[in-house]
Chain A
Amino acid sequence: MNIDHTILTVLILVPLAGAVLLALLPDKGRLMQWGALAVTLITFICTLHLPARYDYSAVAGSFQFEQNHEWINSPAIRYHLGVDGLSMWLVVLTGFLAPLGVLVSWNTIGDRKKLFYTLFLLQQVAMIGIFVSLDLFLYYAFWELSLVPMTLLIATFGRSANRRRAAIKYFLYTFIPSAILLVGMLWVYARTGTFQLPELAQLAAAHNISSNNAALWLASLAFLVAFAVKVPVFPLHGWLTDAITEAPTAAVMVLVGKLGLYSILRFSFSIFPEQSRHIAPLMIALGAIGIVYGALIALVQKDLKQLAAYGALGHVSVVVLGIFTFTIAGIDGGIYATLNEGIGAGAFFILLGILYERYGTYDMRDYGGLAAKLPWMVTLFVITTLSVIGLPMLNGFVGEFLVLTGGMQSAVTHHTRWTVLATTGVILTASYMLWMIQRVFYGDLNENTADVPVPDVTAREHLALWPLIAVMLFMGIASPYWLRAIDTAGTYLAQEPQPIELPAAISTIVPQTSAAQEATK
């Protein structure tokens, strides 16, 4: 049996079935942890089917592992799934991070484990659903669904008394723009009669969605704002620090970046190509400001999680800058950096979580001179830091380099100027990360933490961290392996969309792709 045509459904159903199973099993001993670990591992193995069977020679803009079934007749909603170069690695990344999330929650989540792991798995269902849906309605359903488990995770497992407020803030911040997004989607549907992304992209390319320019602009803003809040793009990041500070480590790892950035690339760019290009100068400016602002604020934080939150804002801003240059390098770099954000920030948050588990504080002033006591910890911290600040040979470099190249390649002077500003962010990021290392691990032992007897990184934690380190190295050294798929998507998104005339389209795409690959090497 060929499972290519069912694999995406399997990817949604496995964690869903796992969640239902965990909800029904008794909450005894470590049953929940092992159960969740098994489910997430199975899901991860299933996601590996995608790169294994991915057809790199497929036409850009086409989808693979497609499933397209009728779901609801009227309005015409279909169960339409598929992945392309843009979403494939994101799906794998989602699968990859989940077992690590279970490993780091192993002991930190002491009671109500059943609730935690059920919600955690539901969150995964929603995320995979978002990445693979090609029907706008189905996509929106998963998009909204992803809010609920995360909100409950923050509200119930947050670390301070502020958790309920943070959870509701997060929910409202994302739900209200999403409600407007729904209006935009319904408007598009009322104009075109379809929710299918490929069809909508073609209609958009042929300028057939609507001739009412003002309405198109409003609709495109409805899309973009909803996604930008989720990313978050400066200045829509109000929810970010509260949510990151409160959320448990496993939830934080999936909180930032991916969903919003993917949605911009997938939906804003395809359905509103013209509007996206017109608004690019603004977005690039916001991206560049976000990079510098995030890094500057991170520089003065005393709380490690706050530092990580503002750092994350800076990193997603890099992606925003890259994708809105509409150059191949910029978009490729943006997608690459999105993956990096998942890996690098994931590792960083895990390490912070481990530190917190041992000392019960995120305040940097309580730390100091830990390097001698925790040699493994400092090693892993430093590797992660180097990845985050973009040292060559590690993954962070590739994404950052491509984005900045894309910015410089841009034919628009405005873009180049902002990119110059953004480049200073590289230095600032290095400053706050290295300063953080210095304050936590070097210098004099701090009296608050010096006498606490703690173990170094345990076997379970090693297990959660080394895969991430390995991927960092692999993504840093063998970037062409990953870029092969990403580049097809990047090339497709960077070019001006043309009304579909298939044979002609193929002949123009193919040479560009090879040229792009050369450029990225």
Chain B
Amino acid sequence: MSPNVLALLPELILTLAGVVVMLAEPCLKPGSSRKPLGWLAIAGTVAALAASWYQIQFGTIHAFSGTIQVDAFSVLFHFVIGSVVLVTLLGSIDFFEGNASHAGEYFALVLFGAVGMMLMTCSVELLMVFVGLEISSISTYIMCGFRKGQATGTESSIKYFLLGSFATAFFLYGVALSFGATGSTNIYAIAHGLETTATPALAFTALALILIGLGFKVSAAPFHVWTPDVYQGAPAPVVGLMSTAPKAAAFAVLLRITFTGFPTYQHRWAILMWVMAALSMTVGNLGALMQRDVKRMLAYSSIAHAGYLMVAFTAFPFDGIAAACFYTATYAAMNVGAFAVVTQIAGYDERARSIDDFTGLGQKRPYLAALLSFFLLSLIGIPFTGGFFGKFYVFSAAIHGGNVWLAVIGLLNSGVACFYYLRLLAAIYTRPGSESTRLNQLRRIGVPAAIGIGLAAVATGALGILPSGAVSFAEYASHSTLIEQGRQECAASPDSCHLQLQFDEK
């Protein structure tokens, strides 16, 4: 197999599946079930996951003239994104049934979005990253407004689109400036060019602009203002997807650009990250305290979690990348799980919105309630859940790097965060009053959705109880990016070869 095909195998499979879904959609009778298309999309996702798994054995694959680099790092993020898409698709098969005749488009858009995100994680060329970013963003813009009849849906879509295009423009501007400063848009060439650049200020400005663009995508404060409104208006399964997968992809890019592309400036951008992390955690958690709407609350919570993840950027490269990889995986598992349950409870027309609407869930749907509680406890960071270990790992990396105060801010924040998660948790297990009828029309949960939620729960639990495997994979991923960095550096200037030796010893 040619390396070009091999490197993009998962993306190719997903694209194919998406195109087939698109083509099949018009052939189905209007009003007939769109479930087969959903199953097709699921099959495509599973195949893409298998393809990613298959790629591991080849180590690092370079393709398309060095613009694509598939390594353990990208495979890890492929897994995260693929699994999130899988859970989302499983949860949405019944969700759209009977409500939207254009559900086929949704399945195709999810797949195309996934292609873009996966492409972002394996590109080492900023223009390629931009292409991936656009593919994934445009898909999500459309999905946000999927409930065409509702004003909030349209509001959500337009808000996201306007602000999102603004942010991508910042990103593109940053790419252009970094080309001006270093003469290249390839991450490794940038790293090399930085050492001899005549305009370090320009290079740093470029990085700052890129940070703004990606900071918007991961909804880090102060670029977070769009998040609550967009999440509130978008359908629940879409929010589950867009609060995890595009963020994972953006973080992958951010990790590559900062640690591999601009390693010489770490002392500078680490300060920016410090500030953004502290701000995101605080703004996210304080914002969530004010919310009564569950989706808005989870939106603010996702801002806070982006902040926790950014703490990893202030650590040493090896620790930081590994911790960020692990946190992304745990965050994706628990958040997509929480939204999958909310999807089931709220339904297409969002019967249950506010925290009070969830009152008495524990009695009416004991298993769904137990699962939602489990995900919430993981988001709080209670031990024996993935959330705890993720947080533990990130903060221990930061403390190892000497950032004790950021860890103090972060963990105090996680104390504040308990309050709003607990409020929902307490509502779930409170006896319902007579007036609460919103949960009465709860449909039976379908088998695919149950499988999806189950997968997320198993992942969240496994990452908390037996994290060894995932941790070593994250460390392997971190290692694989850094060793590649060392190798590229050696190829460019043999004097600095000590880096490679250092990693070979590990």
Given A74-B475, A148-B377, A172-B418, A155 and B426 contact (CB-CB distance below 8 Å): yes
Residues of chain A contacted by B399 (CB below 8 angstroms): 183, 186-187, 189-190
A179 touches B471 (CB 8 A): no
Chain B residues in the interface with A (C-beta under 8 A): 362-363, 370, 377, 381-384, 388, 392-393, 395-396, 399-400, 404, 407-408, 411-412, 414-416, 418-419, 422-423, 425-426, 429-430, 467-468, 471-472, 475
A401 at the interface (CB under 8 A from B): no
The segment from A138-146, A256-264, A339-347, A408-416 found at the interface with B is A138-146
Least Cβ distance of B125 to chain A in Å? Answer: 32
Whether B396 lies near A190 (C-beta < 8 A) is yes
In the complex, are the beta carbons of A182 and B395 less than 8 A apart? yes
Chain B residues positioned under 8 Å from A142 (CB to CB): 383
A403 to B108, CA, bound (A): 73
Report the separation of the CA atoms of residues A215 and B404 in the bound assembly, to the nearest whole angstrom.
10
Q: Kindly report which residue of chain A lies nearest to residue B418, judged by CB atoms.
A: A175
Contacts of B423 in A (CB 8 A): 168
Between A and B, 11 residue pairs with Cβ closer than 8 Å are A73-B468, A112-B363, A151-B422, A164-B426, A167-B426, A171-B418, A171-B422, A183-B395, A187-B404, A190-B400, A215-B404
Give Cα A74–Cα B426 distance, bound, in whole angstroms.
35
Q: Is the CB of B426 within 8 A of A180?
A: no
With A74-B475, A151-B422 as known contacts, state yes or no: A186 contacts B384, CB within 8 Å: no
Q: List residues of chain B with CB within 8 A of the CB of A286.
A: none
Shortest B378–chain A CB gap in Å is 11
Q: Is A56 an interface residue (CB 8 A)?
A: no
Beyond the given A115-B362, A155-B430, please list 12 additional residue pairs across the A-B interface where CB-CB is below 8 A.
Answer: A72-B468, A72-B471, A73-B471, A145-B382, A145-B384, A175-B415, A180-B408, A180-B411, A183-B407, A187-B399, A187-B404, A189-B399
Query: B426 contacts which of A141, A168, A186 (Cβ < 8 Å)?
Result: A168
**A183 near B362: Cβ-Cβ < 8 Å:** no
Does the CB pair A152–B429 fall under 8 Å? yes
Shortest distance in angstroms between B413's beta carbon and chain A's nearest beta carbon? 8
**Residue in contact with A183 in the complex, picked from B388, B411, B418, B430, CB distance below 8 Å:** B411
By beta carbon, the residue of chain A nearest B474 is A74
Flag if A179 contacts B382 (CB, 8 Å). no
Known interface pairs A148-B377, A164-B430. Does A172 touch B419 (Cβ–Cβ under 8 Å)?
yes
Closest chain B residue, CB of each to CB of A177: B415
Residue contact A186 to B429, C-beta cutoff 8 Å: no
- How far apart are the CA atoms of A164 and B419 in the complex, in Å? 11
Chain A nearest Cβ from B390, distance in angstroms: 13
Nearest chain B CB to A120 CB, angstrom units: 14
Tally chain A residues at the interface, Cβ within 8 Å. 37
Please name all residues of chain A whose beta carbon is closer than 8 Å to the beta carbon of B362 when the two chains form the complex.
115
Q: B467 touching A180 by the CB < 8 A rule?
A: no
| Cβ-closest chain B residue relative to A137 | B392
Task: Give the distance in Å from the alpha carbon of A189 to the alpha carbon of B415 in the complex.
Answer: 22
Q: Which of chain A's residues has its CB closest to B383's CB? A: A141
Contact of A179 with B396 at beta-carbon distance under 8 Å, contacts A145-B384, A148-B382, A171-B422 already known: no
Mask: chain A, 127-149; 1 = CB below 8 Å from B; 0 = not: 00000000001001110110110
When the two chains form their complex, are residues A179 and B475 in contact, meaning their CB atoms are under 8 A apart? no
Which residues from 221 to 257 on chain A have a C-beta closer than 8 Å to any C-beta of chain B? none
User: Would you give the shortest CB distance from B431 to chain A, in whole angstroms?
Assistant: 8
* Chain A contacts for B422, CB-based, 8 A: 151, 167-168, 171
Residues A179 and B404 in contact in the complex (CB < 8 Å), given A144-B383, A145-B384: no
Hey, which chain B residues are within 8 Å of A151, CB to CB? 422
User: What is the chain B residue whose CB lies nearest that of A179?
Assistant: B411
> How near does chain B come to A29, taking the closest CB pair, in angstroms?
18
The 5 lowest CB-CB distance pairs between A and B, nearest first, are A141-B383, A176-B415, A179-B411, A186-B399, A186-B396
State in angstroms the CA–CA spacing of A148 and B379 once bound together: 13
Residues of chain B lying within 8 A (CB to CB) of residue A51: none
CA distance A142 to B411 in the complex (A): 18
**In the complex, how many angstroms separate the beta carbon of A111 from the nearest chain B beta carbon?**
8
Q: CA of A178 to CA of B471 in the docked complex: distance in angstroms?
A: 24
Contact among B370, B383, B407, B416 for A186, CB-based, below 8 A: B407
Are B472 and A180 within 8 A (Cβ)?
no
- Tell me the complex Cα distance, A210–B202, Å: 42
Q: Do residues B383 and A74 form an inter-chain contact, with CB atoms below 8 A?
A: no
**By the criterion CB–CB under 8 Å, are A182 and B468 in contact?**
no
A445 CA to B221 CA, complexed, in Å: 66
A504 to B: closest C-beta gap in Å? 35
- Please tell me if A75 contacts chain B, counting CB pairs below 8 Å: yes
Closest Cβ–Cβ distance, residue B385 to chain A (whole Å): 10
A-chain residues with CB within 8 Å of residue B393 when the two chains form the complex: 75
Other-chain residue from B377, B382, B396, B404 in contact with A189 (beta carbon distance below 8 A)? B396
| Shortest CB distance B388–A (Å) | 7
Closest chain A CB from B346 CB (angstroms): 23
Contacts of B411 in A (CB 8 A): 179-180, 182-183
Residues of B within 8 Å of A152, CB to CB, are 425-426, 429
Query: How far apart sit A74 and B430, CA to CA, in the bound complex (Å)?
Result: 40
Cβ of A156 < 8 Å from any Cβ of B?
Answer: yes
A71–B389 Cα gap in the complex (Å)?
A: 13
CA distance A68 to B411 in the complex (A): 29
Complex formed: what's the CA distance from A172 to B415 in Å? 7
A156 touches B429 (CB 8 A): yes
Complex CA distance for A183 and B425, rounded to whole angstroms: 26
Residues of chain A within 8 A (CB-CB) of B388 are 141, 144
Residues in chain B near residue A176, CB distance under 8 A: 412, 415-416
| Cross-interface CB contact of B412 among A71, A155, A180, cutoff 8 Å | A180
Q: Are B396 and A75 in contact (CB under 8 A)?
A: yes
Q: What's the Cα separation between A351 and B468 when bound, in Å? A: 48
A413 to B393, CA, bound (A): 46
A250→B141 CA distance, assembly (Å):
53
Say how far B454's CB is from chain A's closest CB, in angstroms.
16
How far apart sit A182 and B382, CA to CA, in the bound complex (Å)? 12
Report Cα–Cα, A147/B422, bound state, in Å.
12
Give the Cβ gap from A290 to chain B, nearest Cβ, in Å: 25
B contact residues around A72 at 8 Å (CB): 467-468, 471
The chain B residue with its CB closest to the CB of A72 is B468
Give Cα distance in the complex from A176 to B471, angstroms: 27
Are the CB atoms of A179 and B468 closer together than 8 Å? no
A72 to B415, CA, bound (A): 26
Chain A 102-139, CB-CB to B under 8 Å as 1, else 0, gives 00000000001001000000000000000000000100
Q: Is the CB of A71 within 8 A of B468?
A: yes
Q: Which residues of B contact A182 (CB under 8 A)?
A: 392, 395, 411
Closest beta carbon of chain B to A426's beta carbon, Å: 38
Bound-state CA distance A147–B384 (Å) is 13
Q: Which of A112, A172, A175, A180 has the most chain B CB atoms inside 10 A of its CB?
A: A175
Please determine whether B384 and A183 come into contact, CB atoms closer than 8 angstroms.
no
Which of A73, A168, A186 counts the most B-chain CB atoms under 10 A from its CB? A186
Question: What B residues does A73 contact at CB under 8 A?
Answer: 468, 471-472
Cβ contacts under 8 Å, A112 to chain B: 363
Distance between B279 CB and nearest chain A CB, rounded to angstroms: 19
Which residue of B383, B415, B419 is within 8 Å of A145 (Cβ)? B383
* Complex-state Cα separation, A170 to B234, whole angstroms: 36
A164 to B427, CA, bound (A): 9
Question: Which residues of chain A come closer than 8 Å to B414, judged between CB atoms?
Answer: 179
Nearest-Cβ distance from residue B477 to partner chain A, whole angstroms:
14
Report the Cα distance A155→B412, complex, angstroms: 23
Please state if B382 and A183 are interface contacts (CB–CB under 8 Å): no
Contacts of A75 in B (CB 8 A): 393, 396
Contact of A140 among B383, B395, B408, B418 (CB under 8 A): B383
Tell me whether B415 and A179 are in contact (CB under 8 A): yes
With a cutoff of 8 Å between Cβ atoms, the chain A residues found around residue B408 in the complex are 180, 183
User: How far does the alpha carbon of A215 sit from the alpha carbon of B383 in the complex, in Å?
Assistant: 26
Residues of A with C-beta under 8 A to B471: 72-74
Minimum CB–CB distance for A450 against chain B, Å: 33
B387 nearest CB across to chain A (Å): 11
The complex places the Cα of A148 from the Cα of B425 at a distance, in Å, of 10
Min CB gap A133→B, angstroms? 11
